Amino acid sequence: MVMKTQRLAVLLALAAAIPAAAAAQSFEELLNSAGSSAEVPAAPAVSAPRVQAGAYREAQQYLPPNNDNPGFDWPRPHKSAGADYFTTGPSATFFKASQAQAEDLAEGTGKCALAPNTLYKTVARPGFTGMHVMAQLSEPLPGCSVTRGYIYMPHVSSTSAGGLWELPKNVRAFLDTLAYAEGTKEHYDYIFTFVTFSSYADHPRRAICSGSLCSTAAGRYQFLSKTWDALAADLGLTDFTPPSQEKACVELLRRAGAYTLAAKASKYENFSAAVNKINTIWASMPGSPYGQPTHTKAELWKVYKAALAKY
């Protein structure tokens, strides 16, 4: 016991000796990491609590087999120098030195204003962490000392990393409706029961139990880890970033025979038919067989029309 105590004391002393410069260096390391996005290290997976047999049931998610149904032809990632960017949405927002709330940061040194509907060039492809896009600006903003920072993800309409904005507006609105039904809305960083994660390096693989259900569902579209693993292998996805989540979700729609219907979902009969085809994949859909709370088709139709109006 004495030896263990001494070892713990040494480890704590070493941790305290790490220079503060490491925090400043971490952002550059994130942006320079390999792949389509820069990520913080993944947290260790947390297993579901041990319970008596029969007390909990495991969440289920049907994975349709691969097939020849039509889907979306995603654009290939660009490779031209100087072409990386992010574009702000319709509201003014801030480029921030940290992920803190904008109101807690000082003008010019902690945050700098970004104009709405404006493209900003970056030195590398933007990355993602939690609810923020990470980027390094290719040119400084006027009167601003922040060149490497964060933008609140819902305030970003597109980035050179790709994703939701590349899809037709009918499909975007359909995915917004699905996210509403799953309770995630704009959050790509949700785990079952609204626990959050920061790193998009991989599916968080954290099993959480609530009520009588245990689930590893994560992301905007609540992929179970086993569903994600199969899709990632088939699609060649190497991370769990928002663009990867979009590709995997659209692949599920395609395999279920729902993509072409979602692309024409501005007509109710197509919307209704698409919903009917995916209720064995997502437990929140009307008619789902999994015994979890569901939404009515009439409610989701209203959500869809409101989402479509934004585009």
The residues, any chain, with a CB within 8 Å of residue 62's CB and separated by 6 or more, are 280, 281
d(CA 291, CA 250): 25
- Residue 114 token pair: 């970004």
CB neighbour class for 178 (10 Å; exposed up to 12, middle 13-18, buried from 19): buried
Residues pairing with 57 in the sheet: 213
Torsion of CA 267, 268, 272, 278, to 10 degrees: 40
Asked if 182 is an active-site residue, the reply is yes
Which of 28, 29, 103, 182 is labelled catalytic?
182
d(CA 308, CA 150): 28
Backbone angles phi, psi at 137, to 5 degrees: -70, 140
Cα distances (angstroms) measured from residue 177 to each of 10, 296, 298? 52, 12, 12
Determine the straight-line distance between the first and last CA of the chain, rounded to whole angstroms.
Answer: 63
Task: Let me know: does 300 contact 286? Beta carbons within 8 Å.
Answer: yes
The residues, any chain, with a CB within 8 Å of residue 227's CB and separated by 6 or more, are 61, 63
Neighbouring C-beta atoms of residue 138, cutoff 10 Å: 14
Fill in the amino acid letter for 262: A
Catalytic residues: 182
